[in-house]
């Protein structure tokens, strides 16, 4: 389009059904052709297999982009942050393409990728415009928006771009004009590292895979009955003893401050915010076992490696409970730069209800004291919450849970949607799923996709909802490959629910795009469940 450069087109497939394909030969000589026998990359709907589906995608059938050994990533007059995003993308693509992809401030030429944060403020933090012709241009308002646009470009490139080793080209992208921004600001998944502990590398692997679908929040369930997983220097036995085991009695583990910082940094590099959860006042056996003085009777229970819930509680009347939580939230806040801390609040079955109502506001005040906003499971909505709090719906469209969500809305709290019968990734797909639970029902892929956050609960509408999160509880999952099996293919659908306008989503169209992820997952070695209702490519 601009400065010419010698490029060789051998074959450009006809890419869109119903549109006469162009066969380009030599240096851009175009000759009409037909769709027959071409168009291997086209889907039945004629749009690429992008997930989440962008707000607007217009094909430019006359254009195409090819990345080659002379390609540069052009970043002019931008923040250091955008240059960092560019360098990271270049390193990632270098592995499979072998191209140097220098980050440059020279004017962009054909074959270059140019990145800019000069886009309008109306694009928000995550929106971007992506144009593919002889060049790729991504315009956003922030470096994060540029990152989201590059994530789309990654999906537009052939799946082999994900490979860790050098692959043969060509690296061609069909011409297109994309304008995109998310529906909700919070698109998350949760990893339970308490029931089974996952190493830093395993968490990074989960971040890698979630990030490909524009997930922007990783909620880490760091403390439960079976294990305490984050270092707290003022209460060291929480990890040295309370973190020593996991479900089944196998050795557990915990993150040192240095390791947790590594997770936070890795997540931030992928524009994923960590939400640390310390579950209270129930789900606290690991803490109660570590410190006898936290128990009402002063006697520490043994460590617990089973999978029952709802049997433990902090001692609500004891002052030391709040000294403990003040220290814990301080040290967790110091380790977590994100704005939120999750204080749990679910299934406090042995906490006297009056005491529960007294406890939550006191615990919440210890969170806000550290400059963080409060997130908690839906039960916290029964108590007055500080401004800016988030109540996380985990119901099954049952009257009690729906009522709690409405109580959250009534007091001005945001609702985060994690309906257990749709997005609990630990629920089995069908009766043959080798692990997982069934208490919220079986969740086939369609059921995880076919629901809407703004219409699920009467009285909770679009403006009350901050987003969606797919929790993954690990009672039955002791390896990251099993986590992958439960999350894929359901997690990309949840990511799309959070990103794509409701009116643009339909299962019949989505499942085709989902099927198109298989080649990418094969290369990334994702242990996904090949559900038979998906037309896998």
Per CB under 6 A, residues contacting ligand ACM are 346-347, 377, 394
**Closest alpha carbon to 61 in 75, 42, 77:** 42
**Sign, Cα dihedral of 374, 380, 385, 387:** positive
What are 205's two structure tokens?
């692997």
- Which bin fits 124, alpha (ψ -120 to 50), beta or left (φ > 0)? left
CB of 63 vs ligand ACM, minimal distance in Å:
48
Residue 192 C-beta: closest distance to ligand ACM, Å: 9
Q: How far is the CB of 471 from ligand ACM (least distance, A)?
A: 7
Query: CB 375 → ligand ACM: shortest distance, Å?
Result: 12
Beta strands 128-132 and 103-104 are unpaired
Q: Which is nearer to ligand ACM, 130 or 420 (CB)?
A: 420
Q: Which C-beta is closer to ligand ACM: that of 347 or that of 450?
A: 347
Among all chains, which residue has been given the structure tokens 């999750």? Answer: 342
Cβ atoms within 10 A of the Cβ of 102, count? 14
User: For ligand ACM, which residue has the nearest CB?
Assistant: 346
- Which CB, 246 or 379, lies closer to ligand ACM? 379
Residue entry with tokens 């991504």: 138
Q: Is 347 a catalytic residue?
A: yes
Query: Do 40 and 46 meet the contact criterion of CB atoms below 8 Å apart?
Result: no
Report CA Rg, the chain. 25
Q: Of 419 and 493, which has the nearer Cβ to ligand ACM?
A: 419
Return the DSSP state at 293: G
Tell the smallest beta-carbon distance from residue 440 to ligand ACM (Å). 9
Which one is catalytic: 323, 347, 358, 397? 347
CA-based torsion, 150, 155, 160, 162: positive or negative: positive
296-333 per-residue burial string, b: 16 or more CB within 10 A, e: under 16 = eeeebeebbbeeeeeebbbbbeeeebbebbbebbebbb
Instruction: State which residue, 166 or 349, has the beta carbon closest to ligand ACM.
Output: 349
- Taking the C-alpha atoms of residue 28 and residue 63, their distance in angstroms, rounded to an integer, is 10
Q: Shortest approach of ligand ACM to residue 379 CB, angstroms?
A: 9
Strand partners, 117: none
Nearer to ligand ACM, 135 or 401 (CB): 401
Residues involved in catalysis = 347
């Amino acid at each position: 389009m601009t400065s010419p450069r010698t490029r060789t087109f051998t074959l450009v497939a006809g890419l869109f059904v119903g549109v006469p394909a162009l066969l380009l030969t030599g240096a851009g000589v175009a000759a009409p052709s037909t769709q027959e026998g071409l168009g291997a990359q086209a889907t039945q709907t004629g749009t690429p297999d992008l997930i989440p589906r962008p707000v607007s995608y217009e094909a430019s059938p006359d254009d195409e982009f090819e990345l080659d050994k002379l390609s540069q990533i052009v970043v002019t007059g931008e923040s250091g942050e955008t240059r960092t995003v560019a360098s990271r993308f270049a390193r990632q693509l270098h592995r499979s393409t072998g191209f140097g992809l220098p980050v440059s401030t020279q004017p962009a030429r054909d074959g270059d990728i140019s990145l800019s944060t000069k886009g309008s403020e109306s694009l928000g933090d995550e929106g971007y415009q992506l144009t593919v012709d002889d060049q790729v241009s991504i315009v956003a308002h922030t470096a994060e928006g540029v990152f989201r646009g590059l994530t789309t470009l990654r999906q537009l490139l052939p799946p082999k771009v994900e490979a860790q080793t050098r692959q043969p080209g060509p690296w061609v992208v069909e011409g297109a004009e994309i304008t995109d921004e998310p529906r909700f600001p919070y698109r998350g998944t949760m990893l339970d590292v308490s029931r089974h502990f996952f190493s830093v590398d395993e968490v990074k692997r989960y971040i890698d895979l979630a990030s490909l679908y524009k997930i922007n929040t990783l909620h880490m369930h760091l403390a439960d009955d079976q294990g305490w997983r984050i270092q707290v220097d003022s209460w060291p036995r929480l990890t040295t003893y309370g973190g020593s085991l996991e479900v089944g009695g196998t050795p557990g583990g915990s993150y040192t401050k240095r390791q947790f910082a590594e997770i936070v940094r890795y997540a931030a590099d992928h524009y994923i915010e960590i939400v640390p959860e310390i579950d209270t006042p129930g789900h606290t056996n690991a803490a109660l076992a570590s410190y006898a003085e936290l128990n009402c009777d002063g006697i520490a229970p043994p460590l617990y490696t089973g999978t029952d819930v709802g049997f433990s509680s902090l001692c609500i009347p004891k002052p030391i409970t709040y000294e403990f939580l003040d220290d814990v939230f301080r040290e967790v806040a110091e380790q977590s730069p994100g704005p939120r801390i999750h204080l749990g609040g679910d299934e406090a079955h042995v906490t006297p209800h009056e005491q529960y109502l007294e406890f939550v506001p006191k615990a919440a005040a210890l969170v806000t004291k550290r400059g963080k906003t409060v997130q908690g499971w839906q039960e916290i909505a029964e108590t007055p919450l500080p401004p800016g709090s988030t109540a996380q719906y985990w119901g099954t469209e049952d009257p009690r849970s729906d009522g709690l969500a409405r109580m959250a809305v009534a007091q001005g709290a945001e609702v985060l949607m994690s309906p257990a019968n749709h997005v609990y990734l630990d629920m089995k797909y069908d009766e043959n799923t080798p692990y997982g639970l069934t208490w919220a029902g079986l969740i086939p892929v369609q059921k995880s996709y076919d629901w809407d956050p703004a219409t699920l609960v009467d009285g909770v509408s679009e403006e009350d909802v901050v987003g969606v999160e797919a929790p993954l509880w690990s009672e039955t999952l002791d390896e990251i490959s099993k986590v992958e099996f439960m999350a894929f293919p359901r997690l990309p659908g949840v990511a799309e629910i959070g990103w794509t306008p409701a009116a643009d989503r339909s299962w019949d169209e989505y499942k085709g795009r989902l099927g198109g992820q298989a080649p990418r997952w094969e290369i990334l070695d994702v242990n996904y469940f090949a559900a038979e209702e998906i037309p896998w490519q």
